[in-house]
Structure 1
């Protein structure tokens, strides 16, 4: 079925439609050899545009309605800390990233979201003026490319996220604001409900959670945000773009405190069936913008699109090869594999790790407290 016509993000959400976001970029591109681990800065948009373009294309084919610019950690102060500012500037990265996202989005009627993330300047100076100047500079780059809306993402302190929203709202474009926080709240202990209230009062049209913790924890935290907004008599659309990894330890520091971070997280990877469950739980919670962050590969995004295909009214092109719930296995030569071509099998599967000495959980590092 043909992809829906290009309409604005708020127009879609106001109509009650499901908007499927795209997945993670920095971790996926690091695994492919294009991003430096630890720094996670997006100079690959300039150095290796073919790699970024291909990942955009795969997310689009998987069913994404939004293509986000590959501009994570693209403030000049972060680039300077990473040793990139002398060779590749923020202006170059923003320009290349917007061009790539726009090119691919136009192939499928998707929207382009300009991503703005936390800055080293906030923790270093806590200067509202300096931090806002950084956001304003990046916003101006994006506006030159006429992106569709902004996503404020990966903010551990709601105060800084509020500053970002206040700056970006001056563009008169829709603003989504997502925090990488746990159910315990942000790094200053501000509860999720209060965080949501502050973001909406600052002008955010969409609020939610991204990264740091697993999908069902993300949904739980967004529910807390929703409750906070309802108590305050405020309304906003809800979104969630969590990790593609299991983090049952659920500590406030998120996956960066796990011993497997960042080079052994494959052991915690979500299966597509985990993502089916996540997409349904998010939808039941009233969340209509559903995507993923680090660890979410294109097949995970396809799982969201497939789980919510009835609500969306179509399947993505990426589903043509295998059908729903493993239907393509009906043609397998082995009868026990053919028997797996059904929903009940995959929904009830308890996957094994295959690792004889694999612990069920790890002890997170540093001074974060568990639930």
Structure 2
């Protein structure tokens, strides 16, 4: 039976939308992706591994799954596995995402576009747009529900991408990997938001590189600038899955940290930190909330659980894993039985998990 899905923008009018989380970083942790290059050959080489991660996000409560083709451009693919083209990967990623989304019934499929090397190589607007058109045409062919430009460092490049994305005739979301210092050309946070909106983005925001607290500060400035200019746009936030407060006042964010990209695990957020983030983001007027690098399905579950009253539904996983330890009184361990309250978990200050570790890294 056909199912008429509610569009992204209609959903955002009525309440929060939960995005999905990391793909290539999770694939790398499982041995299916090359670190540093981060291109998504896994959709061709290990399709079941990719399908399983998509399914886990849906089970966690995501309203959206993104086509698993981040950084799929021929220039980047030539650095690593030279067997597949970007078209091969995007085609497989679209088919896979559409197939898995049907299992979730009302899950939206987002076609994700990534920055291109033609821009950083200075090849000019025509060459840049040609690469974006190559990414987009497969999303048009497979009729994705909306398109997203993500992980952009230069507002000029994302403007070019948004212009191309209009050809899809779908809602457009646009997010940049920027913090308080603005984009890599020195354009302010406020001007980045205004330029994305004026270029045609329906949803604007940030993703990756800076943690939850820094992104909330950055998005507050974006939202204020849009409201002051009379531009009514929805706001999105997809932070990485770990905390990195030291890099708030840097341009590049997390790449400054010497642990990157292979030793971030001690920084991973707890599910309860994600609960608090989701509530703070929604109260700040951010309606599209998901995650980026290292955001795990249990983090997405925390967002879906926290915002369940506003979404008027629980995530599918709630029957087995409700928030705040509801089933802990049934634990085999006496010491766990009284830890079934929101207050206990929200007020707990967890240890780092590494004995004798310094609380912060100096770099």
TM-score, length basis structure 1: 0.94
* 2:167 match: 170
For residue 137 of structure 1, the aligned residue among 134, 137, 146 is 134
For residue 211 of structure 1, the aligned residue among 201, 208, 211 is 208
SS at match of 1:295: coil
Q: How far apart, in 1, do the equivalents of 2:330 and 2:213 lie? A: 34
CA deviation profile, 1:11-69 (whole Å, cap 9, x unmatched) = 1112x221000000111000000000000001111111100000000000000000100
Shift in Å at residue 105 of structure 1? 0.9
For residue 243 of structure 1, the aligned residue among 212, 215, 240 is 240
Shift in Å at residue 227 of structure 1? 1.0
* Contact 1:63–1:305, Cα closer than 8 Å, also in 2: yes
* 2:44 match: 46
Q: How far apart, in 2, do the equivalents of 1:331 and 1:258 lie? A: 42
* 1:284 match: 283
Aligned residues: 358
SS at match of 1:239: strand
* 1:158 match: 155
* 2:182 match: 185
* 1:123 match: 120
For the pair 1:320 / 2:316, whether they are aligned, the reply is no
* Contact 2:172–2:202, Cα closer than 8 Å, also in 1: yes
Q: How far apart, in 2, do the equivalents of 1:38 and 1:197 lie? A: 32
For the pair 1:91 / 2:91, whether they are aligned, the reply is no
* 1:198 match: 195
Runs of 4+ in 1 over 6 A off after TM superposition: none
* Contact 1:248–1:361, Cα closer than 8 Å, also in 2: no
CA deviation profile, 1:83-141 (whole Å, cap 9, x unmatched) = 33x31111110011001111111111100000001112211125111111000111111
TM-score, length basis structure 2: 0.96
Q: How far apart, in 2, do the equivalents of 1:356 and 1:110 lie? A: 42
For the pair 1:255 / 2:254, whether they are aligned, the reply is yes
Contiguous gaps of at least 5 residues in structure 2: none
SS at match of 2:110: strand
Which moved further from structure 2: 246-255 or 128-137?
Answer: 246-255
Q: How far apart, in 2, do the equivalents of 1:104 and 1:17 lie? A: 24
CA deviation profile, 1:233-284 (whole Å, cap 9, x unmatched) = 2111110000110011123211122111111100100000010000001101
For the pair 1:107 / 2:103, whether they are aligned, the reply is yes
Shift in Å at residue 157 of structure 1? 0.8
RMSD between aligned alpha carbons? 1.3
* 1:74 match: 72
Residues 201 and 126 from structure 1, CA distance in 2 versus in 1: closer, same or farther, beyond 3 angstroms?
farther
Q: How far apart, in 2, do the equivalents of 1:200 and 1:78 lie? A: 28
